């Protein structure tokens, strides 16, 4: 295993969980349809982007949330809302990202992000129902 790949696995373990890192590590060997997508995420996103110098994980989470909100990528946003909390963002900061996105990505995108965030945060008992 290369040092870059291991660095990517370490980032995944820290931001998501050791179990997710292990699953991504074995993705390329899986016969399951489309399983290689996990390997691509590991190589191209976590090993090459999240480990780069220049931005800390907290800053990368801010950028990632903003992009996912603009794309209305709710499934990925669900994951990255929790990643953002692990990377040091507070609930109120995430709330502000959603508000700010309304001015640049549009109200509908921010509204979808708010709904997604409420669902995730309620599920994990981070906000009241």
Q: Check whether residue 62 and residue 109 sit in a common domain.
A: yes
pLDDT greater than 90 at residue 2: no
On whether residue 128 sits in a domain, the answer given is no
Measure the CA dihedral 121/41/89/113, to 10°.
-50
Can you say how many angstroms the Cα of residue 90 is from the centroid of all Cα atoms in its chain?
A: 15
Q: How many CB atoms lie within 10 A of CB 31?
A: 5
Name the domain count of the chain.
2
Q: 15 and 41: one domain? A: yes
| pTM attached to this predicted model | 0.92
Domain range for residue 96?
Answer: 57-123
Same domain, 61 and 42: no
pLDDT, tens digit, for every residue of 32-68? Answer: 999 889 889 999 999 999 999 999 999 999 999 999 9
């Amino acid at each position: 295993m290369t040092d870059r790949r291991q660095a990517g696995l370490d980032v995944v373990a820290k931001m998501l969980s050791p179990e997710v890192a292990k699953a991504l590590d074995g993705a390329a060997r899986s016969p399951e349809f489309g399983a290689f997508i996990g390997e691509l995420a590991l190589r191209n996103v976590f090993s090459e982007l999240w480990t780069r110098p220049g931005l800390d994980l907290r800053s990368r989470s801010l950028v990632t949330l903003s992009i996912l909100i603009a794309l209305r990528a709710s499934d990925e946003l669900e994951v990255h809302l929790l990643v953002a909390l692990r990377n040091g963002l507070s609930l109120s900061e995430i709330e502000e990202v959603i508000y700010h996105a309304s001015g640049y990505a549009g109200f509908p995108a921010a509204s979808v992000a708010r709904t997604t965030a409420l669902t995730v945060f309620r599920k994990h008992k981070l906000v009241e129902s």
